[in-house]
Amino acid sequence: MGDAVTLEQFESDAEAFLRANAPERTERQFEWGVGSDRVALFADKTPEQDQAELAAARVWAKKVFDAGFGWITGPPEYGGRGLGRDFARAWQAWAARFETPPVGVFSVGLQMVAPTVLTHGTEDQKRQFLAPLYRGDIVGCQLFSEPGAGSDLAGLATRAVRDGDEWVVNGQKVWTSYAHLADVGEIICRTDPGVEKHQGLTAFLIDMHQPGVEVRPLRQMTGGASFNEVFFTDARVPDTLRLGGVNEGWGVALTTLMSERAAIGTQAGGGGGMATTRLIELVRHMGRADDPLVRQQLAQVIIGTKVAGYTNMRAMAKIAGGGIPGPEMSISKLALTANMVRTCELVSSVLGPELVADSGRWGTYSWGELLLGVPAMRIAGGSDEVLRNILGERVLGLPREPRPASV
């Protein structure tokens, strides 16, 4: 049970804390030609900027957690307050009204690693990792994808071989967000190559700072390096950091993947009013507001955004009622990428050559960075093709896609 506090008192405490620690957010009206015109999915930061943002995020997360707002719905025995989701929603609504440091660096740890530890971790693991993750003391990352096994997670090749009370890990992971800043990673390894591929996997928590772990940034076609590849060379993991049973890592991975799709899918609303306003202004300033084809494309973006938002609300209501989200998470993730593709098609129609050749006009060439970033989102959290197969086979009951014969 959570502490004896009413929702009214909780909101009063939240408002008092925020007013004492952060400036209130001022309403910003989008104005064409004013400020930066950058439109990007992934931030391109220098190492110095990364470290400065991380330091500010740690300070803020510590304040929030110590004041009782860091893990509102979490079990009290692990550092949470044990309150309902209506309290968490109330906090989010109040926090949105104030200017606070960005805390995206903690997103993977909180949205993917922590729920998995809570579900599959031992008592010692829960006490060791959960409160520090929510307090910002440690940063988490997810080590699943590999060069030869992206969406086909069960085809991964990174090996973990038992050596007494430890496991020795060798292999490579790729597309790992925040690996260069992470303290702990959730990794899935092959521990029995002699059985069916889903059955020979085991999950671990691994120290990202130990010998044998090398993180290299991946330069993308946007010009930035928002992801990393991670190499493991005889990296040792104590068996006490194994998540779940030996060769039972597939179930652990599914917990993480469902959390990941829920986190990504909640973005499917498409950025809210400011993003829609910017698209409308782009159409207007490029003199295409009366073009019926462009107007239809714009309408499809707005409709898709609204429908995705309603799907998310349905999924969140199911979770709030104690249910387990099913196909809604896959649908939400597909809706997100579909809306992004529609947006890029609209921008391409409106801008034409100015999307790829810098004319110097504000609000034109900058859209290219968004266009180059969208393909990554069609892969992250499960590729569009894999998610369509999941919906077709497991929800609609369609025949399974033919699999290649095993060798």
Q: Which amino acids are annotated catalytic?
A: 260
Q: Match 């979490």 to its residue by tokens.
A: 74
- Please, which residues have CB within 8 angstroms of residue 300's CB and are 6 or more apart in sequence? 342
What sign has the CA pseudo-torsion 288, 294, 296, 302? negative
Do residues 14 and 91 make contact, with C-beta atoms less than 8 angstroms apart?
Answer: yes
**Contact status, residue 213 vs residue 228, Cβ threshold 8 Å:** no
Distance CA 110, CA 132 (A): 10
Helix %, strand %, coil % for the chain, to 5? 50, 15, 35
State whether residue 80 is helix, strand or coil.
Answer: coil
Q: How far is CA 346 from each of CA 234, 296, 362, rounded to the nearest angstrom?
A: 49, 9, 18
The residue whose two tokens read 């502490």 is: 3
The region that residue 287 occupies, defined by phi over 0 for left and psi between -120 and 50 for alpha, beta otherwise, is left
The pair of three-digit structure tokens given for residue 315, joined into one six-digit string: 């999924």
CA distance 154 to 201: 8
Residue type for position 28: R
E strand intervals along 66-113: none
- Note the Cα 115 to chain centre separation in Å: 13
Q: For residues 389 and 339, what is the distance between their CA atoms, to the nearest angstrom?
A: 19
Instruction: Name the burial class of residue 262, with classes exposed (0-12), middle (13-18) and buried (19+) by CB atoms within 10 angstroms of its CB.
Output: buried
Q: Are 183 and 109 in contact (CB under 8 A)?
A: no
Identify residue 293 by its one-letter amino acid code: L
